[in-house]
């Protein structure tokens, strides 16, 4: 509350004399002033800025701040959704451009409430004049985000409703033309109407640290188009819901007709119609099962924004009625003068002069919960294990594959190779030479093997050890390929033992 001692002039407490504040900056129509007769003539006495601190209780100032911090929590929710959409695979998030743009619009709306937390703006330009977008830069930023974000949320909600209506009711799948048209309309229309509202109407500090749209021309420049889009979107939602109910009832009656048929078999025409009704019901059921979250959150955002519009329009109308007829406010103003500016003694006389405090509290809290509702309805449980898997792959140590045989023979000191890596030259199998030596049994004679013996060296058989739980047996070699060969390694590599000579000999 501003200092009420300086600038009082000829006015009684708690009012201030308007002529002592000649500055033309700030939002001049936001002053709450009234003519008061005096000995020197009529003078204008004004209520100190901000006026809401005199109209509402002392606890009212905590409500806007609490709603701003709730918007911070909502921003965390919406940003986590956006990061999940851009990082995780589409089968885990079911992301869609209509959903992504809708969430971005909600984020812009939340910025209008979050900016004042960091900027800590000054609500009043002087003791009786609130700041506006021309006198306070943060007011311009917060008001622009609030106007553009609110209109964008309604616009993208309308486009989602239109897309679902076309798919369910008309069996039209939106394509590339709808995509580009949606981007143009979803962002172009909010920017257009927000720019018009800022240029023609402007924003100022009306209550709390967030700048809201002024009264002058607000209904035709901003609230009217916004409510029109919200109404069309709501009509599309209920038209789609009515079509779904109609399809369900139709499929239900078709099933009853078949079960109560006297012949037990439906006619050909009846069968075709029944199948069509069932197919339509399954298609609608599948579409609703996929889109119901988006439908619910769009309806919630529309209800919140419409509630905000209704509260502000009602607040503007009440304020204008009081300014045009100060006789309605005479009991309250007299109470403030009699009690020396103690507003708590006069709060019961404010009824009918301003929007009730519970309504203002409700609209601020509901607007702050938009981000949380967005996460609850557009987020999916599959995102949590997807994030866990992504983090595990990101920070887990990468281990090479080690086969069982490599672990078994690791005691030999020979390293193992990955299958894709080139073999080491030290352990590359060597092709045997044409002449292979074999030690004689007495250590003096050297035998030279023929190429046929060399071939047999690489085709010798090994002893087969059958596993304990194996039910198969080894196959004998083909008789055509190895005809006449004896499967004795001794005949392949060494000279047979001759009993007559007592030592090895060449055959």
Tens digit of each residue's pLDDT (9 = 90 or more) over 94-151 = 899 999 999 999 999 999 999 999 888 899 999 999 999 999 999 999 999 999 999 9
Provide the pLDDT confidence category of residue 357 given band limits of 50, 70 and 90. confident
Q: What pLDDT is attached to residue 268?
A: 41
Of 115-124, 180-189, 363-372, the range with the highest mean pLDDT is 180-189
The pTM score is: 0.73
Least confident segment among 16-20, 378-382, 421-425? 421-425
State pLDDT tens for residues 299-330. Answer: 998 898 889 888 888 888 888 888 788 888 88
Q: Are 492 and 457 within 8 A, CB to CB?
A: yes
What contacts 24+ positions apart, CB below 8 Å, involve 166-175?
167/287, 168/240, 168/243, 168/244, 168/283, 168/284, 168/287, 168/288, 169/239, 169/240, 169/243, 171/283
Residue 405 backbone dihedrals phi, psi, to 5 degrees: -65, -35
Q: Is the pLDDT of residue 90 over 60?
A: yes
pLDDT band at 444 (very low <50, low <70, confident <90, very high): very low
Looking at per-residue pLDDT, the higher value among 283 and 149 belongs to 149
Confidence of residue 436 (pLDDT cuts 50, 70, 90): very low
pLDDT at 222 over 50: yes
> Please, which pLDDT band fits residue 450 given cuts at 50, 70 and 90?
very low
Higher pLDDT, 43 or 373: 373
Cβ contact 204:30 at 8 Å: yes
């Amino acid at each position: 509350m501003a200092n009420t001692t300086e600038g009082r002039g000829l006015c009684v407490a708690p009012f201030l004399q308007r002529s002592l504040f000649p500055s033309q900056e700030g939002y001049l129509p936001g002053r709450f002033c009234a003519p008061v007769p005096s000995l020197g003539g009529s003078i204008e006495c004004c209520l100190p800025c901000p006026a809401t601190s005199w109209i509402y209780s002392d606890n009212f100032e905590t409500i806007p701040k609490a709603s701003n911090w709730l918007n911070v929590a909502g921003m965390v929710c919406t940003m986590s959704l956006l990061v999940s959409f851009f990082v995780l695979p589409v089968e885990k998030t079911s992301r869609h451009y209509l959903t992504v743009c809708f969430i971005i619009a909600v984020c812009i709306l939340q910025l209008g409430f979050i900016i004042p937390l960091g900027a800590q703006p000054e609500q009043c330009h002087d003791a009786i004049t609130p700041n506006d977008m021309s006198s306070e830069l943060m007011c311009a930023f917060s008001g622009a985000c609030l106007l553009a974000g609110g209109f964008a949320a309604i616009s993208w909600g309308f486009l989602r409703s239109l897309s679902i209506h076309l798919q369910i009711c008309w069996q039209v799948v939106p394509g590339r033309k709808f995509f580009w048209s949606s981007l143009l309309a979803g962002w172009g229309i909010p920017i257009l109407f927000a720019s018009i509202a800022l240029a023609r109407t402007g924003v100022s500090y009306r209550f709390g640290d967030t700048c809201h749209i002024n009264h002058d021309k607000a209904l035709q420049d901003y609230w009217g188009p916004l409510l029109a889009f919200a109404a069309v979107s709501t009509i599309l939602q209920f038209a789609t819901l009515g079509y779904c109910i109609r399809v369900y009832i139709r499929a239900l009656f078709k099933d009853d007709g078949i079960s109560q048929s006297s012949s037990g078999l439906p006619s050909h025409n009846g069968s075709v119609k029944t199948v069509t009704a069932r197919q339509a019901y399954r298609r609608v059921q599948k579409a609703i099962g996929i889109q119901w979250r988006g439908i619910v959150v769009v309806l919630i955002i529309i209800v919140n924004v419409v509630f905000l519009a209704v509260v502000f329009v009602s607040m503007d109308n009440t304020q204008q009625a009081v300014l045009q007829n100060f006789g309605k406010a005479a009991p309250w103003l007299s109470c403030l003068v009699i009690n020396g500016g103690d507003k708590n003694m006069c709060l019961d006389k404010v009824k009918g002069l301003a929007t009730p405090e519970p309504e203002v509290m409700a609209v601020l809290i509901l607007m702050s919960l938009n981000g949380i509702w967005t996460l609850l309805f557009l987020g999916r449980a599959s995102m949590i294990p997807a994030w866990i898997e992504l983090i595990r792959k990101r920070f887990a140590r990468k281990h090479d594959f080690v086969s069982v045989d490599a672990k078994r023979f690791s005691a030999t000191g020979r390293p193992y190779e990955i299958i894709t890596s080139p073999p080491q030259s030290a352990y590359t199998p060597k092709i045997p030479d044409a002449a292979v030596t074999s030690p004689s049994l007495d250590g003096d004679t050297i035998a030279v093997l023929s190429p046929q013996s060399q071939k047999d060296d690489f085709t010798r058989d090994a002893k087969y050890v059958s596993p304990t739980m194996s039910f198969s047996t080894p196959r004998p070699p083909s008789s055509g390929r190895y005809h006449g060969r004896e499967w004795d390694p001794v005949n392949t590599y060494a000279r047979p033992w001759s009993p007559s000579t007592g030592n090895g000999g060449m055959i």
